[in-house]
Structure 1
Amino acid sequence: MAPPPSATIGQMITSVFLLLLLLAPVTQNAKSMLPRTDRELLEFSLNLEYLEAEFFLHGSMGRGLDHIQPGLAGGGPRPIGARIANLSPLVRNIIMQFAYQEVGHIRAIKSTVPGFSRPLLDLSVKSFAKVINKAFGRHLFPPFNPYANDLNYVLASYIIPYVGLTGYVGANPILKSNTSRKLVAGLLGVESGQDAVIRTLLYERATLIVVPYGITVAEFTHKISKLRNKLGRAGLKDEGLVVPTYLLGRGVLTGNVLAGNTNSLAFGRTPKEILRIVYGSGKEQVPGGFFPKGGNGLIAKSYLKKKKLDNLPSLV
């Protein structure tokens, strides 16, 4: 005898409900299956990916992640001072491609680990001018404006993406999961490509004078790289477009279109080193620079928390 229709419907609803209960944890747990270290390192990289995405999106189109894919921003505050740059069609097209690549990177990371919302970013003219002034040890006049023209924007692009690239190189050897290593390899491949394009565009203009400062493009890259080495406090992990021959290990060549050690292997950096650089303070526990309130995620916040504990009055 067939069950009454009402019983059949009730069974169907119960079955669907139980199925949803079973599936929901699987989706949630899929992002927590990775080893803790892997999750923390992958999430940490979001800080740099947010920074690059917003800089490239605003620079090429005048709008950011909140317009392109708002869900990825996670409700985080909008960047300070980001704007559209005065770019030629070719450079705008290249930067727009970079922008969508960075959006894809954020999506890929947040599909693998829980992630976090976009931190507060400072992409203002003032923020970039501070970096350049610190690199040269003096105030340039007028203040360096990354949005003024092609050359300034590409020089500003030299400041940011390479730092994230070295982070992936540094993280890869300590990742334990094949899922994590596969993701980082994919991210590193595209980030390296972006860096190569940026360096090539600048290398073509290495001897060009950056107006109105009377300083060559090559000298700008040298000073920026020197500053990052100083802030990172971990030795030589950064090189400009022209370097002494003894650093390259390639005879009489001084050209350095791609950065690498004496075996032409990419340099790697730790999260501590990266924070010291992007904060502009040389200290992983002192926020500032492009991250006025510091980065998000357990790694970045652990250093900020340590600073707060260090500042507590002694009870002894």
Structure 2
Amino acid sequence: MGLIFLFLFFSLESFLYTKAQSPPPPPCDVELLQFALNLEYLEAEFFLFGALGYGLDRVEPELAMGGPPPVGGRQASLSWLVRDIVIQFAYQEVGHLRAIRQAVGAFPRPLLNLSSANFARLMDNALGQPLIPPFDPYISDLNFLIACYLIPYIGLTGYAGTAPYLNSSSIKSLVAGLLAVESGQDAVIRTLLYQTSELRPYPYSITVAELTDAISVLRNRLAHSTNKDHGVVIIPPTLQHGWDQGWTRGNIIDGDNYSVAFSRTPQEILRIVYGSGLEYVTGGFFPAGADGTMAKIYLPGTYATSACPEI
């Protein structure tokens, strides 16, 4: 018994010593991973409010770190299946916040705009004309899934864009795990929308397929990128991907000519989530701007400096 105790004691002591001696991640790795917190906060709050009617301040207040409460979020009118899926997504995002905070520290939740009016503006921008009545993500399964289409894919491409600039093996491993779950969420959302691609969300005359294509075109336009985003249906007559395996109608998992995930830079991400097309003009989901050094370096008057090479 004494030998077992001694073995456990020295094993624990060795583990704690090794952990204490682990070098901190490089400053650029910290900046890049903390930048992702902005999108994780956005996804966590949107999914929590949509499924449960409340957010981090009730679920896990310490993760919000005293940041301002989101604006406009509310419980959506969802079927049991979609609600259950969204609840799973929500707690996955809570886990992501915990993981990033543990790895590189965190900043308080930034101000988030989850209002119907914000989503309506985005949809009007995507379609080039106002929808009547204004789009409301919280009134049905289909509307909420269309709103979901707007968000996780941005995080997915952000993590893919971050990977080449990371140096720490532990941070690389964490980003790979985060990217895997974000990709899974996006695939579920796109699959559910593909199943309903020919439906027209009431009372509009446009189909789900056309809506997702318009949103993808908007994200490309805002990011100033030409071909990193496509809807859930390949729109004829152009074969958008040029896959060797030939024509396919569906596009459940988006990717390039080699079926590799697209990547976006922090600047491209900010242009999309601000809705302005400019990384230094805030708005959209982040009325007061995103947080962290990687976001602040683009905001006038912040005087932030980055440890990362130009990305």
How does the TM-score come out when normalised to structure 1?
A: 0.87
Q: CA separation of 1:246/1:191 partners in 2, compared to 1, >3 Å: closer, same or farther?
A: closer
Tell me which protein shows more helix as a share of its residues.
1
- Of 214, 217, 221, the match for 2:205: 214
Question: Residue 50 of structure 1 corresponds to which residue in structure 2?
Answer: 41
Question: Residue 297 of structure 2 corresponds to which residue in structure 1?
Answer: 302
State whether residues 132 and 144 of structure 1, in contact with CA within 8 Å, keep that contact through their aligned partners in structure 2.
Answer: yes
State whether residues 285 and 307 of structure 1, in contact with CA within 8 Å, keep that contact through their aligned partners in structure 2.
Answer: no
Q: Which runs of 5+ in 2 are unaligned?
A: 1-15, 305-311
Question: Residue 287 of structure 1 corresponds to which residue in structure 2?
Answer: 282
State whether residues 295 and 301 of structure 1, in contact with CA within 8 Å, keep that contact through their aligned partners in structure 2.
Answer: yes
Question: Residue 11 of structure 2 corresponds to which residue in structure 1?
Answer: none
Where 1:111 maps in the other structure, the secondary structure is helix
How far apart, in 2, do the equivalents of 1:112 and 1:248 lie?
39
Q: CA separation of 1:308/1:140 partners in 2, compared to 1, >3 Å: closer, same or farther?
A: farther
Question: Residue 128 of structure 2 corresponds to which residue in structure 1?
Answer: 137
Amino-acid identity (%)? 56
Pairing 1:238–2:233 present: no
Deviation per CA, 1:230-269: give whole Å up to 9, x if none.
0000221101011232424241223211100111100000
Q: CA separation of 1:208/1:122 partners in 2, compared to 1, >3 Å: closer, same or farther?
A: same
Where 1:117 maps in the other structure, the secondary structure is coil
State whether residues 77 and 140 of structure 2, in contact with CA within 8 Å, keep that contact through their aligned partners in structure 1.
Answer: yes
Q: CA separation of 1:306/1:240 partners in 2, compared to 1, >3 Å: closer, same or farther?
A: farther
State whether residues 46 and 114 of structure 2, in contact with CA within 8 Å, keep that contact through their aligned partners in structure 1.
Answer: yes
State whether residues 279 and 289 of structure 1, in contact with CA within 8 Å, keep that contact through their aligned partners in structure 2.
Answer: yes
Superposition CA RMSD, Å: 1.7
Question: Residue 256 of structure 1 corresponds to which residue in structure 2?
Answer: 251
Where 1:237 maps in the other structure, the secondary structure is coil
Where 2:81 maps in the other structure, the secondary structure is helix
Q: Which runs of 5+ in 1 are unaligned?
A: 1-22, 310-316
Q: What is the letter of the counterpart of residue 230 of structure 1?
A: R
State whether residues 146 and 152 of structure 1, in contact with CA within 8 Å, keep that contact through their aligned partners in structure 2.
Answer: yes
How does the TM-score come out when normalised to structure 2?
A: 0.88
Q: What is the letter of the counterpart of residue 165 of structure 2?
A: I
Q: CA separation of 1:282/1:308 partners in 2, compared to 1, >3 Å: closer, same or farther?
A: farther
Q: What is the letter of the counterpart of residue 157 of structure 1?
A: C
Pairing 1:191–2:182 present: yes
Aligned residues: 283
How far apart, in 2, do the equivalents of 1:268 and 1:58 lie?
28
